[in-house]
Amino acid sequence: MNVKELINLQICKFANLQIKTAGTSIYSTRKSKLFTFGISYFVLVFCLLFLNSCFSVKYSMSGASISPEIKTLSVAYFIDRSNSGQSTLSQQFTDNLREKCRRQTSLKIITEGGDVSFECEIIGFSTTPTAIQSNDQAAKNRFTVTVHVKFTNNVDPKLSYEADFPKFRDYAASKQLNEVTGELLPLIIDDITEDIFNKAFVNW
Tell me what pLDDT residue 47 has.
40
Answer whether residue 61 is part of any domain. Answer: no
Q: For residues 193 and 107, state if they share a domain.
A: yes
Q: For residues 73 and 170, state if they share a domain.
A: yes
What does the pLDDT look like over 101-135, one tens digit per residue?
A: 999 999 999 989 999 999 999 999 999 998 776 66
CA distance 170 to 181: 11
User: What residues pair up with 125 in beta bridges, in sequence order?
Assistant: 145
* Cα angle 47, 50, 51; round to 5: 85
Provide the percentage of residues in the chain whose pLDDT is more than 90: 60
DSSP 3-state of 159: helix
Q: How far out from the chain centre does Cα 20 lie? A: 60
Residue 200's pLDDT band (boundaries 50, 70, 90)? very high
Residue 64's pLDDT band (boundaries 50, 70, 90)? confident
Residue 1's pLDDT band (boundaries 50, 70, 90)? low
What does the pLDDT look like over 83-100, one tens digit per residue?
A: 999 999 999 999 999 999
Answer whether residue 64 is part of any domain. Answer: no
- Average model confidence (pLDDT) across the chain: 80
Evaluate if pTM is beyond 0.75: no
What does the pLDDT look like over 141-156, one tens digit per residue?
A: 999 999 999 999 999 9
Q: For residues 17 and 81, state if they share a domain.
A: no
Q: For residues 28 and 105, state if they share a domain.
A: no
CA distance 86 to 48: 53
Length of the chain equals 204
Tell me what pLDDT residue 38 has.
53
Residue 201, pLDDT above cutoff 90: yes
Residue 176, pLDDT above cutoff 60: yes
Instruction: Provide, for the chain, the percentages of residues in helix, strand and coil under a 3-state DSSP scheme, each rounded to the nearest 5.
Output: 50, 30, 25
Query: Which structural domain, as residue segments, surrounds residue 134?
Result: 69-201
Tell me what pLDDT residue 133 has.
65
Q: For residues 129 and 49, state if they share a domain.
A: no
Overall domain count for the chain: 2
Answer whether residue 78 is part of any domain. Answer: yes
